[in-house]
């Protein structure tokens, strides 16, 4: 299923003031394409994803799925949120089954699919636990299982791995690559990590820090599965990092002191590729 974002703008009203978050965004994601969206904190990535999901309304513009305009959530789009959005009063397995229940999938099939994806997320042992009994990473894995088992054409993921430890994160990055390879779902994946974007994406969109600037695009034509240690991956990461750094610096200069400098104030600067993670 293809996705088209046409001249989308978004403004919020807060305390009688208007805040412009997105201006005139155009983006086409082709059927089966894996697109990662990178950008400094606060530039509107989650807002854009929520608009695609149908949870937020555009101020101007359109979102089209296979050419048809959509304004509300639908079973064609599954979402993994930046912070898990599980029901605390339901057991893990019931949380995973919830979306399928809403979608009208029969009980026996629901259970079968839920167990399959819980196993994939290494959560079988916790299927009867309650949400408060899980760690943050486990909650996020339940959210991923819940989204995957809907088998939607489009998968929208908002920094799904950012709260996970690096081992789990690497496992899930491989898992997502495998799932995408086998199902050829259309994926829009938001991340702060350039490495993660290069590992996963066909195309990376770097959102600008300022509304007046244009977004940048990088096509990643490396063979899969990709490994962090590959020279080609490292090269792409450093190329994109240069651009990302410029955007992070723009945000930092507007939010911190005049004299703030990315290289000098090194708490936020990591010479590996995770620059900007703290922002
Ligand atoms: N419901 C809302 N009402 C008012 N302002 C909002 C609302 N949601 C988001 N914003 C504002 O919109 C801007 C973009 O927020 P958004 O969550 O889309 O950023 P982001 O790029 O996802 O950031 P991060 O990388 O930190 O997740 C922020 O300045 C935020 O304060
Ligand atoms: Mg966000």
Domains of the chain in sequence order: 1-65+159-168+190-279 (3.40.50.300)
What token pair was written down for 6?
A: 């046409």
Tokens of 134: 């899980």
Ligand 1 geometric centre to CA of 41 (Å): 8
Beta-carbon neighbour count of residue 71 at 10 Å?
A: 11
Predicted pLDDT at 209:
84
For residue 246, the model assigns a pLDDT of: 83
pLDDT at 262: 60
Ligand 1 site, residue 125, Cβ cutoff 6 A: no
| Cis status of the peptide bond prior to 169, with omega within 30 of 0 | no
- Taking the CA of residue 159 as reference, the ligand 1 atom at the shortest distance is 27
Q: Where are the beta strands (DSSP E) in the chain?
A: 3-14, 17-29, 34-38, 60-65, 68-69, 77-80, 154-158, 186-190, 203-206, 216-219
CA angle 262, 267, 269 (to 5 degrees): 45
- Report residue 122 as tokens: 């290494």
CA separation for the pair 6, 54 (Å, rounded): 15
* Nearest atom in ligand 1 to 56's CA: 1
What residue owns the CA closest to ligand 1's atom 29?
42
In testing the pocket of ligand 1, which one of 13, 19, 36, 275 has its CB within 8 Å of the most ligand atoms?
A: 19
pLDDT for 277 equals 42
Report the nearest atom of ligand 1 relative to the CA of 82.
Answer: 27
Ligand 1 contact via 10 beta carbon (within 6 Å): no
| Ligand 1 proximity of 14 Cβ (cutoff 6 Å) | yes
Strand partners, 130: 91
Task: Give pLDDT, residue 84.
Answer: 72
The whole-number pLDDT of residue 109 equals 95
Residue 11 Cβ contacting ligand 1 at under 6 Å: no
- Say how far apart CA 225 and CA 36 lie, in whole Å: 16
Contacts of 242 (CB under 8 A, 6+ apart): none
Whether the CB of 193 sits within 6 Å of ligand 1: no
Ligand 2 centre and the CA of 44: distance in Å?
A: 7
Residue of 9, 11, 12, 157 to mutate, ligand 1, most atoms within 8 A of C-beta: 12
| pLDDT, averaged in runs of 10, over the chain (279 residues) | 96 91 96 95 93 96 96 92 86 95 92 94 94 88 91 93 84 85 92 94 93 91 88 94 85 68 54 44
Q: What is the pLDDT of residue 256?
A: 67
Q: 174 C-alpha to center of ligand 2: Å?
A: 23
């Amino acid at each position: 299923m293809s996705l088209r974002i046409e001249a989308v703008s978004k403004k919020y009203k807060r305390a009688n003031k208007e805040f412009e978050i997105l201006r005139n965004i155009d983006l086409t994601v082709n059927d089966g394409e894996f697109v990662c969206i990178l950008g400094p904190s606060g530039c509107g990535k989650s807002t854009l994803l929520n608009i695609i999901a149908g949870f937020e309304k555009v101020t101007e513009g359109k979102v089209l799925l296979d050419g048809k305009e959509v304004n509300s959530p639908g079973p064609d789009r599954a979402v993994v949120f930046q912070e898990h959005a599980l029901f605390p009063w339901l057991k893990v397995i019931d949380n995973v089954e919830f979306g399928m229940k809403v979608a009208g999938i029969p009980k026996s099939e629901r259970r079968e699919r839920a167990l399959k994806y819980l196993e994939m997320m290494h959560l079988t042992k916790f299927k009867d636990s309650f949400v408060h009994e899980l760690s943050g990473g486990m909650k996020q894995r339940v959210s991923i299982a819940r989204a995957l088992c809907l088998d939607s054409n489009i998968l929208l993921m908002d920094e799904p791995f950012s709260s996970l430890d690096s081992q789990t994160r690497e496992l899930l990055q491989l898992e997502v690559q495998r799932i995408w390879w086998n199902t050829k779902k259309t994926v829009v994946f938001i991340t702060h990590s350039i490495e993660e974007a290069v590992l996963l994406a066909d195309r990376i969109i770097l959102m600008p820090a300022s509304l007046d600037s244009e977004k940048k695009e990088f096509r990643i034509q490396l063979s899969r599965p990709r490994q962090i240690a590959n020279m080609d991956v490292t090269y792409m990461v450093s190329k994109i990092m240069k651009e990302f750094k410029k955007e992070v610096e723009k945000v930092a200069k507007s939010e911190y002191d005049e004299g703030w400098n990315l290289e000098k104030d090194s708490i936020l600067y990591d010479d590996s590729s995770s620059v900007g993670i703290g922002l």
